[in-house]
Amino acid sequence: MDIATLVGIILGLGAIVGSIFLMTPDFGMFGSASSFGIVFGGMLASVAVAFPLKDVLQLGAAMAAVFKGSSDSLGGLVDEAVEASEAGRKGTADLEKHIDNIKGFFFKDGVQMVIDGYSLEELSEILNTRIDYRELREGTQAGLFKSMGTMAPAWGMVGTLIGLVVMLSGFGGEGGGTDTLGTGMSAALITTLYGAILANLFFLPMAEKVKSRISFSSTMQSLQLEAARLIHQKKHPIIVREKLNSFIPPKEWKKDEGGG
């Protein structure tokens, strides 16, 4: 679980609810199923028009991924690469025995290519292609959330216009139209509120979260690609660590005490 995402949403909702409570104890006036339906339903409809159906159907999985935490540490990946390089310098047989100790599938595939005798150019080209197309796939998720964040306020405005039409149609009606006017004004304002909340507390921040994870994943896989290249070249573990330290914050740097 990504604690930062959860805490951010809770703080945002808490600030909204707390501010409403300071203004009025009547929370009922801020609830409207019809207004929510206009904003959320319209937003989903727009996304369905803008994106392929297969991407829209994966929206739930994309949201779950936003809340999923990551325990990956770039410093830990360097340690893993150094251990693999130590085995690689001893020979292919030792590297093959060591491969089961590698956790990440991307790095494991790279090391397996070394074992299988791929050239340095082939290894680099294959892994770089995987990085590029992973970025494209995950970038679609970020685009999906960004579009939802853009469309939610727009549909809030649609709801506002509907509410204004209802409100204005109440003028001159039988009984003065007081109830109709109140209902229309409420719908006009609440739909705008819902659109703004959905956009600025949920979908636009989710898009930025996905983008930051794409960046981190690309850094991680670039590190592992370079590690596989260094293992292919049978570089000394000390050189492997020093070169891979360039990918990580200095506070995570470690120094080899030795190496084969």
Cβ neighbour number for residue 250 with a 10 Å cutoff: 6
pLDDT for the residue 71: 67
* Of 70, 17, 67, 71, nearest in space to 202 by CA: 67
What integer pLDDT is reported at residue 230 of this predicted model?
A: 96
Instruction: Point out the residues of the chain with pLDDT beneath 50.
Output: 175-176, 258-260
What is the structure's pLDDT at 189?
85
Number of helices (H), then strands (E), in the chain: 12, 0
Tokens read off for 118: 């791929």
d(CA 33, CA 249): 48
φ, ψ (nearest 5 deg) of residue 61: -65, -35
3-class SS at 25? coil
Instruction: Note the pLDDT of residue 259.
Output: 46
Question: Rounded to whole angstroms, how far apart are CA atoms 5 and 70?
Answer: 12
Of 90, 115, 74, 131, nearest in space to 228 by CA: 115
**pLDDT score for 164:** 83
Please give the pLDDT value at position 170: 66
* Contact present, 70 and 187 (Cβ < 8 Å): no
Rounded to two decimals, the pTM is: 0.81
Place of tokens 């690609």: 225
* CA distance linking residue 146 with residue 198, whole number of Å: 11
pLDDT of residue 93: 93
pLDDT of res. 162: 84
Residue type (1 letter), 221: Q
- The string of pLDDT tens digits covering residues 182-217 is 666 766 789 999 999 999 999 999 999 999 999 999
User: What token pair was written down for 247?
Assistant: 């990918």
pLDDT at 183: 61
Structural contact between residues 43 and 151, judged by C-beta atoms closer than 8 angstroms: yes
What pLDDT is recorded for position 59? 87
Say which residue the tokens 């290249």 belong to.
229
Structure tokens at 20: 């409403």
Is 123:110 a contact under the CB 8 Å cutoff?
yes
Q: Say how many C-beta atoms besides its own lie within 10 A of residue 146's C-beta.
A: 18
Q: What is the pLDDT of residue 25?
A: 77
Cβ atoms of 15 and 200 within 8 Å: the answer is no
Q: What is the pLDDT of residue 153?
A: 94
User: Cα(129)–Cα(122) distance, rounded to whole angstroms?
Assistant: 11
Per-residue pLDDT at 260: 44
